[in-house]
Structure 1
Amino acid sequence: MTDENKNEPHEKAVDDEMAREMEGVPEHLRDDGPGEEDNSLEDALANLKGDLDKAMQDVLYARAETQNVRRRLEKDVQDARNYGATSFARDILSVADNLSRALDHVPEDLRESDKAKNFIAGIEATMRELEKVFAQNGITRIAAQGMPLDPNQHQAMMEVPTDEAEPGTIVQEMQAGYMIRDRLLRPAMVGVAKKPD
C-alpha cells in the first residue's frame, strides 16, 4: 500500500466532516475558496447596512408623520373648543337683535311710566346678561358707526349721500355684526357715506 493510498481515507473523512458542517449555512456565506469568504462577508455587511439605513429612514418618516397627526389633532381640538358653538351663537344673535330693537323702539314717555318701568328694566337686564354670556364665549360686537368700511367685517347695504362724513365711512348700522374670537360670526350691515350728487 502506497503513502498516497494511506492518506485517501483520512482526506475523505475530512471532506465528509466539512460537508456536514456546511449544511444549513447559506450559500453566499460558504467558504468556497480563499478570498471568496471576504467578498461574501463584505456583500452581506453591505446588505445589512442598506437594510439598516432603510429601516432608520422609515422610522424617521413614521416619527414625522406621527408628529404631524398629533399637531393636527391638537389644532382640531383647540378649534372645537374655540368655535364649536359657532352655529348656536349665530342662531342666538337674532334674540339679541330682537331685544335691542325692542329697547330702541320704547318711547321716552313710556320709560317714565310707572307701569312700564319695571318691564323695560327687565328687558335691559336680559340684554346685559346676554352680552355677558357672549363675552364669556368670545363673542364680541363689531364696531361700525363712524368707522371706515372694512369688507372683512362690514357689509354695505346702501350708500348715503352726505357732507357730514368722509366717503366710505359708516354712517348707519342696520344690523350689528359679531366676531367669535378671531373669526367673523356675522358681518355688520351698514350704510356708507358718499359724496352728494
Structure 2
Amino acid sequence: MTDAKEPATPEASVTEDGAVDETVLSEAAEEPEEEEEKEEEKPVEGEIVDEEFTVHAPQHRAEPDDEPNQAAAQGTTDDAHQHGLGAELAALRTELDERTRDLQRVTAEYANYRKRVDRDRALVVEQASANVLGALLPVLDDLDRARDHGDLVGPFGSVAEQLVAALTKFGLTVFGAKGDPFDPTRHEAVAHLTSAEVTEPTCIDVMRRGYLLGERLLRPALVAVADPE
C-alpha cells in the first residue's frame, strides 16, 4: 500500500547563527489561504455574477491656459450676435423706408384723386348751371327790351328785378354797355365806324348784352364798334 504524499512543506531558512527565519514560514503559511480565496472568488460556470460598477463622467478641469481661449470664444460669439442684430436692423430699416415710400405715393395719389373729383364735380355743376341759365337768356333779353321801351313798371317790373337778382346769386353776370372798350374775346362786332371822339376801338352801341357765368362766357355781346380816325 502506497503512502499518501504529504504536502510539501517549505523548508525553513536557517540563518548563519542557527535561527529559523520566521518570515519565510509566515509567507508559506499565508499562501494556501490566498489560493483558497482565489478558488472561492472563481465564478462557477453558468452562474450569473452581479458586479457593481460605476460610470464616471469625464470631467474637464479648467486649466489656466484655457481661460484666454474661452474668452476669445465668448468674444467671437458676441461679435456674431451683434453682427446678426445689425443685419436684422438694416433689413427692418429698408422695409420701413419702402413702406414709407408706398404710403407717400398712396397719399399723393389719393390727394390727386380728390382734386380731380372735386374739379370734375365743379365742372358738372357749372355745366348744369350754364345750361339752365342759357335757356333763360332770351327771357332776359325780352325784359331788357321792355325796360328800354318803358314797359317794365309796376308789379311786372318787381317780378323782373327779383328774377335777375335770383340768377345773379347763381353767378350770372351781365356785361356790355355803351362806352366800353372793345374786347374781341367778349364782344361780337356787327358794325364798324370811325370817329374822332375815340382813341381806341370802343363800343358805341349795344344790340344785345352779354353774360358770364363766373369766368365762363355764356354769350358774347352784340355791339357796334367805333375805330379812331
TM-score (norm 1): 0.62
Q: What is the rounded CA distance, in whole Å, between the counterparts of 2:193 and 2:159 in structure 1?
A: 33
Alignment of 1:10-159 (within 5 A): 38-78=82-122, 84-104=128-148, 106=149, 121=154, 123-159=156-192
Alignment check: 8 A CA contact 2:193 2:227 kept: yes
CA offsets 1:44-75 (integer angstroms, 9 cap, x no match): 33222211110111112222222333344344
Deviation at 1:167, TM superposition (A): 3.4
Q: What is the rounded CA distance, in whole Å, between the counterparts of 1:67 and 1:47 in structure 2?
A: 30
Deviation at 1:151, TM superposition (A): 2.8
Structure 1 pair 163/126, CA: closer, same or farther in 2 (3 Å)? farther
Q: What is the rounded CA distance, in whole Å, between the counterparts of 2:182 and 2:136 in structure 1?
A: 25
Deviation at 1:82, TM superposition (A): 5.7
Q: What are the ranges of 5 or more consecutive residues in structure 2 without an aligned counterpart?
A: 1-56, 59-75
Deviation at 1:41, TM superposition (A): 4.3
CA offsets 1:3-35 (integer angstroms, 9 cap, x no match): xxx87xxxxxxxxxxxxxxxxxxxxxxxxx966
Q: What are the ranges of 5 or more consecutive residues in structure 1 without an aligned counterpart?
A: 1-5, 8-32, 112-116
Alignment check: 8 A CA contact 2:174 2:210 kept: yes
Q: What is the rounded CA distance, in whole Å, between the counterparts of 1:149 and 1:158 in structure 2?
A: 12
Aligned to 1:185: 218
Q: What is the rounded CA distance, in whole Å, between the counterparts of 2:139 and 2:219 in structure 1?
A: 14
TM-score (norm 2): 0.55
**Alignment length, in residue pairs?**
156
- Percent identity of equivalent pairs: 28
SS in 2 for 1:124: helix
1:161 aligns with 2:205: no
Higher helix share: 1
CA RMSD of aligned residues (A): 3.3
Residue type at the aligned position of 1:52: L
SS in 1 for 2:197: coil
Q: What is the rounded CA distance, in whole Å, between the counterparts of 1:123 and 1:195 in structure 2?
A: 42
CA offsets 1:54-104 (integer angstroms, 9 cap, x no match): 011111222222233334434444555566411111111011113323454
Higher RCO (CA-CA < 8 Å; seq separation 6+): 1
Residue type at the aligned position of 1:87: N
